[in-house]
Chain A
Amino acid sequence: GAVVSQHPSWVICKSGTSVKIECRSLDFQATTMFWYRQFPKQSLMLMATSNEGSKATYEQGVEKDKFLINHASLTLSTLTVTSAHPEDSSFYICSAPHRVGGLLAGGNEQYFGPGTRLTVT
């Protein structure tokens, strides 16, 4: 099946520094990828939609200047948390849609990366 990887799996950084998280689709191309954030004991919240060849689309309340997204190729999207603060500490998860099934009965299934745990000290 389709695989999505993320790097790094965890990172600790000091307040004020920037951190880059990579999301790769390993065996399929993804013109769109999604970035989610999950706080402890909470659900996944969509942060932004990463679009290859165009600007990312951010959800309401997500600062685009703080969370920079670059969809560099059909298999890679990066999320850079700029000037990180302790409140940015969270679990960041990316996903990419990939069509499964036949033309009539199939649909787009989301394949999730394993997540990146960011801790800002």
Chain B
Amino acid sequence: AQSVSQHNHHVILSEAASLELGCNYSYGGTVNLFWYVQYPGQHLQLLLKYFSGDPLVKGIKGFEAEFIKSKFSFNLRKPSVQWSDTAEYFCAVKGGRRALTFGSGTRLQVQP
């Protein structure tokens, strides 16, 4: 069975600080990995995805993530956060089944 764990449940940063959100997955085979963002009161938006190839993936709004197969990790990073990045962030994995399995989410609060 596939599973995802996000270690940071609530992160508070000041504007311009760097961000790294942890995501580890459990699945023995080939995976597709995703990061989604959910702004308050809005629906899920895809930030970035990894299917294959270059393990460093760049997404929208300056976000990037690195797939480290040996560590079963897909951490999300952004060099300098903005107040508008305040949102809930979800890591998701697609392994043997077609549906996505989501992590528990990380609430990011950026203080101006």
Contacts and interface: CB of A to CB of B under 8 A. Distances in A.
A105 B30 CA distance: 13
Nearest to B44: A112
Interface string B43-57: 110100101110000
A6 B76 CA distance: 29
B48 to A, nearest CB: 11
Given A49-B99, A95-B100, A105-B53, A114 B43 contact: yes
A107 B32 contact: yes
Contacts of A109: 46, 49
A105 B49 CA distance: 12
Contacts of B74: none
B90 A44 contact: yes
Contacts of B51: 101, 105-107
A112 B99 CA distance: 12
Interface residues of B, number: 21
Interface residues of A, number: 24
A70 B102 CA distance: 24
A105 B52 contact: yes
Interface string B20-56: 0000000000001010100000011010010111000
B101 interface: yes
A49 B44 contact: no
B104 interface: yes
A43 B102 contact: yes
B47 to A, nearest CB: 12
Contacts of A101: 51
A107 B103 CA distance: 20
Interface in A87-121: 93, 95, 97, 101, 104-110, 112-115
15 contacts: A34-B98, A43-B104, A44-B102, A45-B102, A46-B99, A93-B44, A104-B52, A105-B51, A105-B53, A108-B94, A109-B46, A109-B49, A110-B34, A112-B36, A112-B43
